[in-house]
Amino acid sequence: MELPATARRLETCRPANCPAQLPQTRTNPNMNHFPKHLLALTMLLLGLTLAACSTTAIVPALPENTPTPHETMASPEGTAWSLQKYRNADGELVPPLAGTEITLDLQQDRLGGSAGCNDYFASYQPAGERLGMGPVASTRKMCLQPQGIMDQEGAYLKALGLAASYRLTGDSLILLDEGDRVVATFVPVSKITPQSALPLNTTWQWQELHESEPASVSVPRDPEKYTLTFLEDGSVSIQADCNRAQATYSLEGNNLVLLPGPATLAFCGEDSLDTLFLQMLGKVVAYSIEDGRLVLHLADNGGRMVFAAQD
């Protein structure tokens, strides 16, 4: 018996080879009336929007060492300055006396510091590198040591009063007069190498005497007979040729004072320098360490005594 055609189709159709039934699509009749050029423009804008959303924005980095808007130019304000050289009465640039320190501090519209003995101050109105400084005033103390400190102070304050502008070069502050001539130079106090500590328990042997008036350098005979040793208890052991002496010392920075104590009084010969040696030690006002040698600075323009460590 022959099956109807429909039955034959059902019999031979299996899930694996039956044609899939596609859903019927209904056409929106309004689309037939949408202008084609507007449709194309809409699709173009949609494509651009999707492309922009999928792109990562790249912000260029600032080059290294590029200054930020908050950086300011270098200024001498806010730094404590230490004098290195100043124009003296002879118009020469010279360093301060040993054992003295002259400073400068600038803050907004005021400047001041220590002139070595007295404090000084002045107003100033900076404009670029112009100082616009007013008259300099100071306290009125009198200092006696070291010799020449008051002359130095007067010369420094006079030079400072001539300052019309400044220049910053590296770590240095340079003050200039109206003719752009240097009147003083400074470095930050923080850059000053601390004064070498006074070596204790070292025996120092007298090597040279540098006198100022008249200028001369003398070398003592038998220098090993003239020595001194600074001890931790604040005392000084002294050998002056055939005599022995004791002293005490007071120290403030590199200012040094020796106070004589007991001493033997033997006669050491006509050519002995024992008396002169002890007298000069009584005039010491400061010390420094120069090239590994101990230098004692004497009051009253008395010069310097130079010592070397005894082997």
Which of residues 51 and 287 earns the better pLDDT score?
287
The two tokens of residue 311 are 């082997």
Range with the lowest mean pLDDT among 65-74, 207-216, 276-285? Answer: 65-74
Which of residues 19 and 310 earns the better pLDDT score?
310
Residue that terminates a domain, selected from 191, 220, 248:
191
CA distances from 255 to 195, 196, 287 (A): 11, 12, 6
Residues 181 and 218 in one domain: no
DSSP annotation of 127 reads B
> Is residue 139 assigned to a domain?
yes
Q: For the segment 287-296, what is each residue's pLDDT rounded down to a tens digit?
A: 888 778 898 9
pTM of model > 0.85: no
The two tokens of residue 249 are 């010392």
Residue that terminates a domain, selected from 142, 169, 191:
191
Domain that holds residue 132: 80-191
Token look-up 């042997």 returns 205
Check residue 30 and give its pLDDT. 46
> Is residue 285 assigned to a domain?
yes
DSSP annotation of 291 reads T
Instruction: Round to the nearest angstrom and report the end-to-end CA distance of the chain.
Output: 140
Q: For the segment 173-230, what is each residue's pLDDT rounded down to a tens digit?
A: 999 999 999 999 999 876 665 555 788 999 999 999 988 667 688 999 999 999 999 9
Residue that terminates a domain, selected from 170, 191, 212:
191
CB 108 within 8 A of CB 264: no
Cα–Cα distance measured from residue 13 to residue 70, given in angstroms and rounded to the nearest whole number? 83
Residues 120 and 152 in one domain: yes
Residues 176 and 277 in one domain: no
Three-state DSSP at 287 gives strand
> Is residue 302 assigned to a domain?
yes
Domain count, the chain: 2
The enclosing domain of 216 has a CATH number of: 2.40.128.270
Is the pLDDT score of 125 beyond 70? yes
